[in-house]
Amino acid sequence: MQIVKNSLSERFLQVYNELDDYMRKKLKVENFVDHGILLKQMMDKNRVFSEFYKDLKTFADMRNLLVHNPYKGNADPILIPHHYIVEKYEEIKNKVMYPKKAILIAIPREVVYTTTLDDSAWKVMQTMNDKVYTHVPVMDGDKMIGVFSENTILSYLVHNKDSIIMQDARISEFKDFVPLDKHPSEYFEFVGRNALLIEVEEIFRRGLISKRRIAVVFITENGNPDEKLLGLITAWDIAGKD
């Protein structure tokens, strides 16, 4: 392969080669299979390729011009990639080859605001209001038994039409409405400790498409609801991850 003597071009070609090798190993194909075909096949296997397909296809076309320059005698190199393009290409490659784990952006259990059935409901609601918390895990030891949220309060008031929430009310007053399957219009998902950030992003994305509001994604060791809570991720955490 022709080596273009320019640091940006060399970096650009290095990214192409690394991605090309990665795709061939993942797809178990021979060297004669076209790079563009590999990109299309990877779209169904990895969301990064789907999200950045147009960029990757454009960069592949640029690489072909660099390597198979039809004007080599008069214009060599035929182009020099802009540093923005090279950095973007490297960023995409890193997303593919070194995917970030979801737990790295999660709110860790140690700092998650939680409650128990014995706690004061008014104190919890006051804290939620002051700190702008929307969902508070209800714990029994290390196990999460439900979530206290605005949805919980609304369901309680709708179900108990003539009731009022007394100053001495405990979270246990809402125990029929804190289980995860007792939250109308909002849903919760669980992933394991090693889940990738892109997998959690996909959970929220699918929720938007299906109009199924995913309120929180909880992280446990293996993604089982009855395991110890390790952390949680909301849509706000996803939006602010960069």
Q: What is the DSSP-derived secondary structure letter of residue 181?
A: G
- Whether the CB-CB separation of 173 and 147 falls below 8 Å is answered with no
Specify the 3-state DSSP secondary structure of 224.
coil
- Determine the pLDDT at residue 34: 96
Tokens at residue 217, please? 């994604």
Cα gap 38→118, rounded to integer Å = 57
- Determine the pLDDT at residue 242: 58
Specify the 3-state DSSP secondary structure of 60.
helix
**Mean pLDDT, the chain cut into blocks of 10 residues (242 residues total):** 68 97 95 96 92 97 94 88 97 94 95 97 97 96 94 93 88 96 95 94 92 95 95 88 62
